Structure 1
Amino acid sequence: MMRAAVLAGVGSCLPACAVSNEDLAKRLETSDEWIRSRTGIRQRYFAEPGTATSDLAAGAGVRALKSAGLSAVDLVVLATTTPDRPCPATAPTVASLLGLPGVAAFDVSAVCSGFLYALAAAAGLIATGGYATALVIGSETFSTILDPSDRTTMVIFGDGAGAVVLRAGTPDEPGALESFDLGSDGDGRDLITVRAGGSEQRLSGRQPQAGDAYFAMAGREVFWRAVQRMRESARSALDRAGRVPGDVDRLVCHQANLRILKALAHELGIAPERCVGNIAEVGNTAAASIPLALDHAHAAGRIAAGERLLLTAFGGGLTWGSAVLTWPQLPIG
């Protein structure tokens, strides 16, 4: 039988500092009602000084390894938009923090789609027979790239990390990753971006403008593209797995915005009660959002063994992706 990557553990890590809508309203022209009505978010977490993306990633990794009953893996893949440093990659640091010297470790950058890109990369390496186990992490300290005076982004994004462990198995096992769909459109790179700091800006001969060092997003245009691309990607992944939306027990979207999540579920014909989300509690955590949502839902008993899951995300690049699997039996706590 063919070799497949099987989900064997899940974990997450949040910073200690929870930031409520009321906290933000004290320094921004906004209110709890304004934020909730537009995003569905009531709080998010911001990393405190001395905490890096690698620290959150390692925290999630420890919990995922414990969930899988493992102390080590052969491969670490980290999805992040906010690495510890522009160079080198952060994944080797995470591997070192986890006490995994010498293992293969690399970063994946696809913004909010990053976890699904990383998951597909790790699953492919396991399927080829080169690796037996992998730790796939999404970790972000998005607060470090937000303009503190911009209420449109400050209220949406938060920091955190989520992780899963993959092991080699067979396609008929619960937890086996059945199918993926990934895509991109570089013509939309200006819709979700940090303009300054890269080779394009540094070699342009122009000094960065005010605000170029901060994250920027064209919210209205992103909304409709996100719904369209995730809908198409989700249907493609389901088709490759021989499934239809009616087969989906739980839809786990990138936690971007409550209105996007509702619109996508409607487009796919999936009832709201079948949607898994934690955006109200943690906000949009970019590449960390899907594994964070999975771990929180698992811990709360909102995902049961044997349920068929559809994962889907949209992010900067532009990028998008989806995956299909059946949730395995995992320990809680």
Structure 2
Amino acid sequence: MTRHYNFCAGPAALPTAVLERAQREMLDYQGRGLSVMEMSHRSSEYVAIAEQAEADLRELLAVPDNYRVLFTQGGATQQFAAVPYNLLGHGGQANFLETGIWGKKAIKEAQHLFGRAHIAASSASNGHVEAPRDSDIALSDDAAYLHVTPNETIGGLALDYLPSARRADGVEVPLVADLSSTILSGPLDVSRYGVIYAGAQKNIGPAGLVLVIVRDDLLDRAVDSMPSLFSYRALAEAGSMINTPATYSWYLAGLVFDWLKRDIGGVDVMAEINARKAGKLYAAIDASDFYSNPIAKRNRSQMNVPFVLADSALEGDFLREAEAAGLLNLKGHRSVGGMRASLYNAVPEAAVDALVAFMSDFETRRG
């Protein structure tokens, strides 16, 4: 069997060691005589799996005791609705820092549900290639929270600062962040946020799961008419098991957390590896007149690296030859075109080395 290098933005690569362990445990989990995906989520065996996953995540991110960790469903897109439902029950308005397509989708959902949303700052005027500065952010007088997307998966724009969330009257509102593309890629000061959410299918595990980390004091700000499955309070009180959860995705997420702890050595080491990977690819792009990256250097993402060829007519050949060389899923998002290499935690450094070598060879032959 040949394992190729997978640069997909999501569902993304999973660590080989995790897949091999899941393979070993597929038919008979620890001598129980059944697969994890066949277990009752109420069984003592599965509850132990769920509790260990949460404990490992809390350790990896040093999650403070006054935060709840929720494993729910619907992906990050469902959180576009869940966040305002959970945080606007006391009035006020959702505020947003708009830096790309996913942030824009979150804004659209808040507007759809509540009739309005305030854009506190936006990079739309420059085509989302350079983020607004922190000083550009102007919250509305009735801001209930500030939502940010620190890393835009599609466009490859990343914030180089943690935004302030203070209104003109001096009131600090909760900072809400969609960390789908970056969570667990390095250290994270959870205490700076009110709500963090992340779709699993990039750095956590397979699709079908979304992680939410929410501060205790925000559990009782919900809109009364909110669907019960969206309720952070209800999810927290039920141990994320209001209904049958995505049990196998949760189990695999736990294996990824264990891999990060034991095989990698934690998120500090992971951050060093990710910096090397991104550094190699950006260096190759910048050293060439054949390839280019459109994002301002201070806002370049380490997780999602878009690039284009000087001659766009060669893009099809590039993608076909890359796939033949075992470099998969390099096609850019349909909304922006070009190429995109997603360098999530499970993408090994050797994959970046292989990509850089292929890019150099292709340029030599076709440039």
Which one has a larger percent strand, Structure 1 or Structure 2?
A: 1
TM-score by length of 1: 0.25
Work out which of the two has the higher radius of gyration on C-alpha atoms and give 1 or 2: 2
Which one has a larger percent helix, Structure 1 or Structure 2?
A: 2
